[in-house]
Structure 1
Amino acid sequence: MTQAFDAAAQQALLETRAQMALELARRLGADACEVGASVDQGVGVSVREGEVETVELSRDQGIAVTVYLGSRKGSASSTDAGEASIRAVVEKAIAIARHTGEDPAAGLADAELMATELPDLDVHHPWPLSTEEAIELALACESAGRQRPGIRSSDGASLSSGEGVRVYANSHGFLGSQRGSRHSLSCMLIAGDEGGMQRDYDYSSARNPRDLLAPEKVGESAAERTLRRLGARRPATGRMPVLFDPTLASGLVGSLMGAIAGGALYRQASFLCDRLGEPLFPEWFSLQERPMEVGAMASSPFDGDGVQTRDNVFIENGRLASYMLSAYSARRLGMQTTGNAGGARNLRIEAPLASREELLARMGCGVLVTELMGQGVNAVTGDYSRGAAGFWVENGEIQYPVEEFTIAGNLEAMFKGLSGIGSDTDTRGSIHTGSWLIGEMTVAGG
Structure 2
Amino acid sequence: MSAVDIVGPEALPRLQEQVEQILAEARRQGASACEVAVSVEQGLSTTVRQREVETVEFNRDQGFGITLYSGQRKGSASTSATGPEAIRETVAAALAIAEHASEDEFAGLADAGLMAGQLAELDLYHPWAISPEQSIELALECEESAFAADSRISNADGTSLSSHRGCRVYGNSHGFVGSYASTRHSLSCVMIAELGGQMQRDYWYDVNRRGEALASAASIGQRAAQRTVARLGARSVPTCEVPVLFSAELAGGLFGHFLAAVSGGNLYRKASFLEGSLGQQLFPQWLSLHENPHLLQGLASASFDGDGLATYAKPFVQAGEVVSYVLGTYSGRKLGLPSTANAGGVHNLLVTHSAEDQDALIKRMGRGLLVTELMGQGLNLVTGDYSRGAGGFWIENGQIQYPVQEVTIAGNLRDMFRQIVAVGSDLEMRSNIRSGSVLIERMTVAGS
Shorter-chain TM-score bucket reads over 0.9
Task: Provide the residue aligned with 1:315 in structure 2.
Answer: 317
Letter in 1 for 2:296: V
1:398 maps to what in 2?
400
What's 1:137 paired with? Answer: 138
2:54: which partner in 1?
Answer: 53
- Find the counterpart in structure 1 of residue 329 from structure 2: 327
**What's the offset of the Cα at 1:293?**
1.2
Give the secondary-structure state (helix, strand or coil) at the position aligned to 2:294. Answer: coil
Tell me how far apart the structure 1 counterparts of residues 264 and 127 of structure 2 sit (CA, whole Å). 35
User: What percentage of aligned pairs have identical amino acids?
Assistant: 52
Aligned to 2:88: 87
CA contact (8 A) 1:286 1:351 kept: no
Q: Match of 1:306, as an amino acid?
A: G
Q: Secondary structure at the match of 1:354?
A: coil
1:271: which partner in 2? Answer: 273
Answering whether residue 67 of structure 2 is matched by residue 66 of structure 1, we say yes
Amino acid at match of 1:301: S
Residue among 352, 366, 377 paired with 1:375: 377
The Cα offsets for residues 42-72 of structure 1, whole Å up to 9 and x where unpaired, read as 0001001100001111111120111111111
Q: Which amino acid aligns with 1:258?
A: A
Provide the residue aligned with 1:286 in structure 2. 288
CA contact (8 A) 1:155 1:188 kept: yes
Cα deviation code 1:373-405 (max 9, x no counterpart): 000011111110000100000011110001011
Kindly provide the CA deviation profile for residues 285-307 of structure 1, in whole angstroms up to 9, marking residues without a partner as x.
00000011111001111000000
Structure 1 equivalent of residue 228 of structure 2? 226
In structure 2, the partner of 1:261 is 263
Structure 2 letter corresponding to 1:253: F
1:191 and 2:188 matched: no
Within a 5 Å distance, the mapping from 1:112-127 to structure 2 comes to 112-127=113-128
- Alignment-derived partner of residue 175 in structure 1: 177
Q: Once structures 1 and 2 are overlaid, which stretch shifts more, 162-171 or 24-33?
A: 24-33
Structure 1 partner of 2:387: 385
How far has the Cα of 1:195 moved from its partner?
Answer: 5.1
- Higher mean C-alpha displacement, 61-70 vs 138-147: 61-70
Give the deviation of 1:79 after TM superposition: 1.2
Question: Residue 195 of structure 1 contacts residue 231 of structure 1 at CA under 8 Å; is this kept in 2?
Answer: no
Q: Which stretch shows the higher mean deviation, 331-340 or 358-367?
A: 358-367
Corresponding residue SS for 1:201: strand
Number of residue pairs matched by the alignment: 444
Letter in 1 for 2:348: N
Matched residues in 2 for 1:402 and 1:119: separation?
Answer: 46
CA–CA distance in 2 between the matches of 1:158 and 1:36?
30
Match of 1:352 in 2: 354
Conservation of the 8 A alpha-carbon contact between 2:75 and 2:97 = yes
Q: Which amino acid aligns with 1:440?
A: R
Rounded Cα–Cα distance in structure 2 between residues aligned with 1:392 and 1:237: 13
Distance 2:364 2:127 in 1: 44
Residue in 1 that maps onto 2:97: 96
- In 1: Cα distance, 2:374 partner to 2:353 partner: 25
Which of 237, 240, 243 is 1:241 aligned to? 243
User: SS of the residue aligned with 2:444?
Assistant: strand
Question: Which residue of the partner structure matches residue 43 of structure 2?
Answer: 42
Q: Which moved more, 1:90-99 or 1:383-392?
A: 90-99
| Partner of residue 200, structure 1 | 202
- Tell me, what secondary structure is at the counterpart of 1:256? helix
Structure 2: distance between partners of 1:360 and 1:114: 48
1:171-208 alpha-carbon deviations (Å, 9 max, x no partner): 11000001000000000111111151111000010011
Report the Cα distance in structure 2 between the residues aligned to 1:104 and 1:320, rounded to whole angstroms: 28
SS at match of 1:147: helix
* TM-score normalised per structure 1: 0.98
Between stretches 360-369 and 282-291, larger displacement belongs to: 360-369
1:77 maps to a residue whose letter is S
The SS at the match of 2:402 is: strand
Q: Which residue of 2 aligns with 1:414?
A: 416
What is the distance in 1 between the residues matched to 2:259 and 2:170? 24
Q: Partners of 1:251 and 1:392 in 2: how far apart?
A: 21
Structure 1 residue 214 and structure 2 residue 216: aligned? yes
For the residue of structure 2 that corresponds to 1:53, the secondary structure is: strand
* Contact 1:117–1:301 (CA under 8 A) maintained in structure 2: no
Residue of structure 1 equivalent to 2:79: 78
Q: Which of 423, 426, 443 is matched with 1:424 structurally?
A: 426
Q: Secondary structure at the match of 1:441?
A: strand
Query: Is the contact between residue 195 and residue 230 of structure 1 (CA under 8 Å) also seen in structure 2?
Result: no
In the TM superposition, structure 1's runs of 4+ consecutive aligned residues that sit over 3 Å from their partners are: 3-6
Deviates more, 1:165-174 or 1:150-159: 150-159
Note if contact 2:7-2:40 (Cα within 8 Å) is conserved in structure 1: no
AA in 2 matched with 1:406: T
Which digits, 9 at most, give the CA deviation of each residue in 1:99-148, with x for residues without a partner? 11110100001111111121320011001211111100100000000112
Which of 281, 295, 299 aligns to 1:297? It is: 299
Q: CA deviation at 1:9?
A: 3.8
Kindly indicate whether the alpha-carbon contact (under 8 Å) linking 2:353 and 2:425 is maintained by their aligned counterparts in 1: no
Please give the alpha-carbon distance, in whole angstroms, between the structure 1 residues aligned to 2:67 and 2:109. Answer: 10
- Residues 380 and 353 (structure 1 numbering): CA distance in 2 closer, same or farther, change over 3 Å? farther
Distance 1:6 1:386, change over 3 A: closer
Quote the Cα distance in structure 2 between the aligned partners of 1:130 and 1:32.
44
- Provide the rounded CA distance (Å) in 2 between the counterparts of 1:314 and 1:188: 35
Return the offset for 1:236.
2.0
State the distance in 2 between where 1:104 and 1:220 align.
57
Give per-residue Cα distances to partners, 1:253-278, cap 9 Å, x unaligned. Answer: 11111001000000000000011000
